[in-house]
Amino acid sequence: MKRLELAIIDDILPNNELPKNGYFPVRGVKGKAHLPAFVIKKFRCKSIPKGNKSGFRIVFVFDRSMSLIYFVEIYHENKKENLDPKRIIEACKSLS
């Protein structure tokens, strides 16, 4: 996870935002949590020979003021249908 965290930190733009490509906001969280949540959909796993479309999803919360990255969930798209915004909102509450 440390390598992923460093990659995300490297992607942070000068205005302390994340680029639009590669990071997707989690629907149903905006306005209900004080921190934005994002999903990474393109994630390469060496043990799965499918390139960057391995099917893994990584959900994280990003605190722009502190450049804090908090990983909420990692799952495979075949094992879980949709994200649970309630879980992400609760995770944000625990960070405040």
Contact 37, 92 (CB under 8 A): yes
| Helix (H) or strand (E) run with residue 9 in it | helix 2-11
pTM value is 0.79
State the residue range of the domain holding 16: 2-95
Q: Report the pLDDT value the prediction gives residue 14, as an integer from 0 to 100.
A: 82
Q: Report the pLDDT value the prediction gives residue 81, as an integer from 0 to 100.
A: 67
Q: Count structural domains, the chain.
A: 1
User: 3-state DSSP call for residue 23?
Assistant: strand
Chain segment 58-83, per-residue pLDDT in tens: 889 888 777 788 888 888 877 776 77
Structure tokens at 59: 């959900």
Chain segment 12-64, per-residue pLDDT in tens: 888 878 888 888 888 888 778 778 888 888 776 677 666 566 678 888 988 87
